[in-house]
Structure 1
Amino acid sequence: MGSGCRDGSRRGLPRRAFVGLLGLGLAACSAPETGGGQAAGAPTPAAPAVPALPPIPAAVPGRSTTVSSGSADGSRVALTVDDGTCADCVAGYVEFARRTGTHLTFSPNGTYAREWEPHAAVLAPLVAAGQVQVMNHTFTHPKLTTLADGDVRAELARNEDWVQRVFGITTRPYYRPPYGLHDARVDGIAADAGWTRSVLWNGSYSDSTTITPEFLMSQAEKYLTPGRIVLGHANHPTVLGLFDQITDLIRQRGLTPVTLDEMFGTSRATGTA
């Protein structure tokens, strides 16, 4: 996890970043329209209806299972996006999902609330439609294996409370241990609280630190294949200029991006398998 580009504001992208994203076709709804739009006196179009979210289900404890891949048969690939230290990167990923309809699973940390919360309204219909899922990645991104039992529970519970408040859904049964560090004790604590699936990955853009566009695309070409759970990060701006190339690669290979719910047959309505 790196420091990223944390200069985004709560109310939208700074002008410098907005202009940069315009060049990438990523800022379609990063700023309000001004002038030249609707004729004076014309009725304001009604906002599209957002499907109702299911009630938040109670936690269902169970046996812990570690998942790191789906079935290699077929065309499904799960794109997952961790952290969120970079405001521009969070905005870019949200707009990528909105613009292209790509299914994603976000794994945000609540400690980066100011980077994520400005996009709650844009994400709401995508979450309600099942296009976007949110997984628990703890609140402050600690090494869970170093924490006491109560602190492990608190990290997961605090992040769950934040996700429920901001996005209106539960993260259960999925949690991703920061740095991929987990053991039987940590998984047992999580499972007792309803996070029965510890999510790792079998493909990565390797962008938790700053990398070149060429290296990120080489990782995408290596790992965007059926059955992969691919790990990306909303921490560094390299990915912002590559969404169209990644989309083209997915199309050329006939892949179908899916959420974890879609890959494994789970549901936000129950928070269980």
Structure 2
Amino acid sequence: MLRRTVDRRSLLMLAVGTAALLSGCGHPGDTPGPTPGAPAAVPPLPPVPGPHPGPNQVLSHGPTGATDRRIALTVDDGTAPDVVAGYVDFAQRTGIHLTFSPNGTYNRSWAPHAPVLRPLVATGQVQIINHTFTHRDLRKLGDADRRTELERNDDWVVTTFGVTTRPYYRPPFGFHTPAIDALAGELGYTRTVLWDGSFSDSETVTPEFLMGMARKYLQPGVINLGHANHPTILGLFDQVTDLIRQRQLTPVTLDEMFGTSRATG
């Protein structure tokens, strides 16, 4: 096991202190403070838990039922700073629940938005899961490098956002094997997250194509994949929101969909 290089309790205190100084980023429905116009109180982030190793389960679809219309919108990578900024604004402006799967190698895209995202993480509107640090194909790495990819990215998320990514990880490109999943489970990543719907925007696509994918895949129980890599989505947030409303879908994080918590990891 590699030595962890981050003092997580110190990072937690930093996260709580940062959240306490933020203004204008409260979650809709929070109880307002006693002073008119004052920012809504943001709950403190939970202590960062240690790993809970166990068997790994592969997830590609959420629960479904006659009245269950939940959908998980997940967003990978972050190669384009303007697209990351657009997704963060989308979450803050609409209150929509999202799960981000960033790579720490794109810190330049994500770190500027930590002051906005930390309160959204604290209220449960936004979740952050592990997508490895450099987005390399895990099948081509040895076990030591696989561990480093997952642990380094989690350390980065804790440093930047104040929470662990466990127990969820998404393998880059969706490439994984039973051996990779077993190693991930030993590190506390007991849930490998794939998807069964996608905007198919890992490369540049047209608005018409992306909305066609949205109409096809935004359905109850779907884990939908998008990317913060190309600008097409920036002009389509309102159309995606309208489609979700028309279909009476409820966007939720993976924690909300599967009953997990950052407090336990």
TM-score by length of 1: 0.82
Partner of 2:10: none
- Paired-residue identity, %: 67
Question: Which of 109, 115, 118 in structure 2 is aligned with 1:124?
Answer: 118
Task: Say yes or no: does 1:49 pair with 2:16.
Answer: no
Letter in 2 for 1:48: A
User: How many angstroms does 1:48 deviate by?
Assistant: 3.4
Q: Matched residues in 1 for 2:36 and 2:256: separation?
A: 36
Task: Say yes or no: does 1:267 pair with 2:254.
Answer: no
1:80, 1:106 within 8 Å by CA — same for their partners in 2?
yes
Letter in 2 for 1:90: V
Partner of 2:233: 239
Secondary structure (helix, strand or coil) at the match of 1:81 reads: strand
User: How many angstroms does 1:46 deviate by?
Assistant: 4.5
Encode CA deviations 1:66-95: one digit per residue, 9 max, x unaligned.
000012321100000000000000000000
User: How many angstroms does 1:55 deviate by?
Assistant: 0.1
Q: Matched residues in 2 for 1:178 and 1:208: separation?
A: 12
1:107, 1:135 within 8 Å by CA — same for their partners in 2?
yes
Q: Matched residues in 2 for 1:47 and 1:266: separation?
A: 28
User: How many angstroms does 1:256 deviate by?
Assistant: 0.0
Encode CA deviations 1:97-122: one digit per residue, 9 max, x unaligned.
00000000000000000100000001
User: How many angstroms does 1:124 deviate by?
Assistant: 1.2
Aligned pairs (5 A) from 1:1-273: 46-73=38-65, 74-271=68-265
Q: Matched residues in 2 for 1:218 and 1:162: separation?
A: 35
User: How many angstroms does 1:203 deviate by?
Assistant: 0.2
1:50, 1:124 within 8 Å by CA — same for their partners in 2?
no
Letter in 2 for 1:201: W
Partner of 1:40: none
Q: Matched residues in 1 for 2:42 and 2:149: separation?
A: 30
TM-score by length of 2: 0.85
Q: Matched residues in 2 for 1:100 and 1:165: separation?
A: 26
Q: Provide the aligned C-alpha RMSD in A.
A: 1.4
Q: Matched residues in 2 for 1:247 and 1:216: separation?
A: 14
1:75, 1:226 within 8 Å by CA — same for their partners in 2?
yes
1:169, 1:268 within 8 Å by CA — same for their partners in 2?
yes
Partner of 2:27: none
Letter in 2 for 1:139: F
Letter in 1 for 2:170: R
Q: Matched residues in 1 for 2:130 and 2:38: separation?
A: 34
Partner of 1:38: none
